[in-house]
């Protein structure tokens, strides 16, 4: 029974590859997500996932590597973002919305020149986790290794910059360089994930697990471990749901969306549980403080 539920889905090669990819992306997204949350830069992630789209679209239209296209577009948007937000006349949130709108619109125009516009658009927007091949897994491992090494090496500087930018600048660190590095790491992970889960759902891999971990844990490193493990487990559960749903029950389900919804469901459960605990904690806490005051 348990074997049927958990092991059988992963007997075929494509499900094994999907599992490896989802677990890798979950771990990477979970780790970088904690940085994204500390810096309140969920919006930047949103920008990246939309701005890599035209790169993917162009690469797709001309038959180049999607990874290369996404990397170029992503790097261009990160540079524009860093330069554009330095000009104080433009509010950075507005500028990010501008980047999302124009890059995405350009991508749509490129895809619309293709004959199979609608199905191509769908594939690029929502990814194809079940057709991940060996090369994509290797790409993900390389990108992931680079990202994790950079985050590990700059860990204390990144945390300090998130906590107190003025002090970090006063110590002589170049804030804009630190920011650019983190933006580029986010971009790398988005690019790695984009072929599997598509351009509009990547943000869930980065923001949702980290937000859930933040509700439970208070230390940065425990948050990272919890968020990475949680994301990997949820990705695995998502694949099991997809397999049994489509093979056993014949549901037509979108794979990337199902995994993201498992993430969201897990977040809601953690949120509700922590709200209940917090209420109990606060109840006893305020009783204690009233005693102390009187």
Least separation in angstroms between residue 100's CB and another protein is 6
**What mask, x for binding another protein by CB under 8 A, covers residues 11 to 40?**
--------------------------x--x
CA–CA separation, 279 vs 35, rounded Å? 28
Nearer to another protein, 75 or 200 (CB): 200
SS3 89: coil
* Nearest one of 180, 203, 206, 190 to 56, comparing CA atoms: 190
Closer of 111 and 232 to another protein (Cβ): 111
Give the nearest distance from C-beta 7 to another protein in angstroms.
26
Mark 222-261 with x for binding to another protein (rule: CB under 8 A) and - for no binding.
-----------------------------xxxx-xxx-xx
Query: How open is the CA angle 111-112-115, to the nearest 5 degrees?
Result: 95
Q: Is 173 in the site for another protein (CB under 8 A)?
A: no
Nearer to another protein, 2 or 294 (CB): 294
Q: How far apart are CA 181 and CA 184, in angstroms?
A: 5
Residues in region 98-127 near another protein by CB under 8 A: 98, 100-102, 104-109, 111-113, 117-119, 121-122, 125-126
Residue with smaller CB distance to another protein, 65 or 286: 286
DSSP secondary structure of 160-199:
HHHH-HHHHHHTT--HHHHHHHHHHHHHHHHHHHHHHH-T
Instruction: Pick between residue 110 and residue 185 the one whose CB is nearest to another protein.
Output: 110
Count of residues of this chain found to bind another protein when the rule CB under 8 A is applied: 68
Residues 6+ apart with CB under 8 A from 72: 55
Return the number of the residue (71 or 201) whose C-beta is nearest another protein.
201
Choice between 2 and 292, CB closer to another protein = 292
Q: Considering only residues 17, 185, 214, 231, which one is a binding residue for another protein as defined by CB under 8 A? A: 214
Torsion sign (Cα): 129, 132, 135, 138: positive
Residue 263 as a binder of another protein (CB under 8 A): the answer is yes
Cβ proximity of 69 and 55 under 8 Å: yes
Residue 86 makes contact with another protein by CB under 8 A: no
Q: Which is nearer to another protein, 29 or 144 (CB)?
A: 29
Q: Are 15 and 131 in contact, with CB atoms under 8 Å apart?
A: no
Buried (b) or exposed (e) across 238-274, using 16+ Cβ within 10 A?
bbbbbbeeeeeeeeeebbbbbbbbbbeebbeebeeee
185 Cβ partners below 8 Å, 6+ apart?
32, 35, 147, 150, 151
CB of 54 to another protein, least distance (A): 10
List contacts with another protein (CB under 8 A): 37, 40-43, 45-46, 50, 88-91, 93-98, 100-102, 104-109, 111-113, 117-119, 121-122, 125-126, 200-201, 203-204, 207-208, 210-211, 214-215, 251-254, 256-258, 260-261, 263-264, 267, 271, 274-275, 278, 282, 286, 289-290, 293
């Amino acid at each position: 029974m348990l074997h049927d539920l958990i092991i059988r889905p992963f007997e075929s090669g494509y499900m094994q590859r999907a599992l490896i990819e989802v677990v890798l992306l979950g771990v990477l997204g979970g780790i970088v997500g904690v940085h994204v949350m500390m810096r309140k830069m969920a919006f930047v992630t949103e920008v990246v996932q939309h701005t890599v789209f035209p790169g993917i679209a162009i690469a797709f239209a001309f038959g180049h590597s999607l990874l290369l296209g996404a990397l170029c577009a992503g790097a261009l948007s990160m540079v524009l973002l860093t330069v554009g937000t330095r000009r104080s006349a433009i509010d950075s949130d507005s500028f990010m919305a501008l980047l999302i709108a124009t890059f995405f619109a350009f991508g749509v125009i490129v895809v619309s020149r293709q004959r199979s516009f609608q199905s191509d658009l769908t594939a690029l927007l929502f990814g194809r986790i079940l057709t991940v091949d060996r090369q994509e897994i290797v790409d993900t491992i390389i990108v992931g290794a680079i990202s994790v090494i950079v985050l590990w090496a700059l860990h204390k500087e990144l945390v300090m910059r998130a906590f107190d930018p003025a002090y970090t600048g006063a110590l002589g660190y170049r804030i804009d360089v630190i920011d650019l590095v983190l933006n580029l790491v986010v971009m790398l992970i988005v690019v790695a994930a984009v072929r599997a889960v598509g351009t509009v759902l990547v943000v869930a891999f980065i923001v949702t697990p980290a937000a859930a971990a933040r509700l439970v844990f208070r230390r940065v490193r425990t948050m990272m471990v919890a968020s990475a493990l949680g994301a990997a487990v949820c990705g695995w559960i998502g694949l099991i749901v997809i397999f049994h749903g489509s093979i056993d029950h014949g549901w037509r389900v979108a794979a990337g969306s199902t995994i993201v919804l498992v993430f969201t469901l897990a977040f809601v459960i953690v949120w509700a549980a922590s709200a209940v605990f917090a209420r109990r904690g606060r109840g006893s806490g305020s009783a204690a403080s009233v005693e102390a005051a009187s």
